Chains A and B, each alone.
Chain A
């Protein structure tokens, strides 16, 4: 009897201990993941901030007007302080990382000093511009190194907790890519210390005007179903699911989805007027047969089929065997940046894989475009002298306050970089400057 009680008690105790141990282990894991995530966030934020910093400094170089430059300097200053705080949260206390911190502090100091002073009275001197150019080159190298480290981290699933452990135990970390990577970054910065150290990669923002100009009558589900069957190019409408949006939607829409053996597709259509807002087709894509250029023609024809006339090709990019195109609405000679449509074309047979006209339908209307007060020659005067202007357009963009303004859009080069510069066609103020970059070293092919 006693023996049985003893066995029962011991078994219970054992189960209890096992359970407690398991719980403890789980808790520990949760905390470890939490800590790991914090490190990961700081690291990825750091690389992103440095990348952005590099772009902003480049943009500042291409700017001309003082009232744009000051906010840009403030922006760079803000980014350096963010980047510094990112560095501060990484477990690098045992690593020599002070040079990079110093570099960031230098940029911060330089931009702060220029941001607070009245640039109208005291514009940037040649020496200061040279300093800024130096900083630009340096940030590029650091950015590249960091992106390379980041690629390795992501590719090999490296853990910051391992770095922490390696640093803490002071074992000879045989091959710790993160530590090695950061040492390279640090050395890169070191090469610059001799140099004399004395700010938008955002795409054109469109404030949302919320579908105020949708044309047409309301359509019913039957109509939407029939339209989507046509767009999906499927034989039977029974295979298509349809649902109407809930009350959180910006505008009432029907959502249709199709699940087939060969492909899946999904699209949204406005209830008002039955306009297609977004379409996505998922299917395996074979070897490339048609060129990006041919694809653009297909995309254009597709748009015209849906009544999008007067669209002009704005940008095109090839991702493996898919072409992605962006079109802008063109009213007369003026292109309207907020009325944008994107189209995705499979480059194996030219099928349309996707389409999104959300921006277009949110903003589109026939506008009263006034005549420009300035000639394009006068507007060019407002562009930084070191920018070599190659192309010009007239355009409507949303300014920083979300109002639509008529501008001259200049595309120009400075050094090896290309910039897009918007000059207000009425008062000549510099509305926006963007540095354009479109390709990146394939890190995967470098190792």
Chain B
């Protein structure tokens, strides 16, 4: 099973009690928006579980990582045996964050030459984090609720289809709207930094399962008679991909285009979404 979003939220000391409260209810909220979510909470926020859900070979998380925890220049933390433990560090950051978007409510992951910057250089699409330690309110109350609403404004914007820049601006605006309420809002705001691979990236247009394949050759075709819309195309160097099965006409048209490309050894471009072909060009 794969999911759109992975939430990591440990709870093993006073600080993570605070970050845990900030992310309380987030899984249900995101599921209410139609997103598939896995939550690694408390003892489940272990290095092993994070690796299981993020390693690029198994591809179990498709779009977005949300981490509410300790952090440092060297990495982002979860917990093991009720003590903090690095779950994403400079050694595994490429494998675990490549082609994903990352938000950390954690200390110092996004300073210069820190793990966030390295992640972007290794293929992570966006990393929004803080350049220095963050402050959190550790008791339920109006300030914690306001801090939570700030942070969730970024997540909501990303999940609703905004670009990372737009979502970052939503977060900044929310922080600013609470500057009068406590110094922590300005402090966290001033240490926020978005690093990105390029401009205008969104979780639904740039992720691990949505990509254009260009200049490839069709090497095989498959249609399963007993089932409607069960058609696969084999691409050289890529393997079998299913045609998008929502409409009869699209399946037939794609199969025809692919058959033409195969017979003429033409080059094709195709758009893959979660293992299925949604668009195909034959040249």
Partners in one complex: no
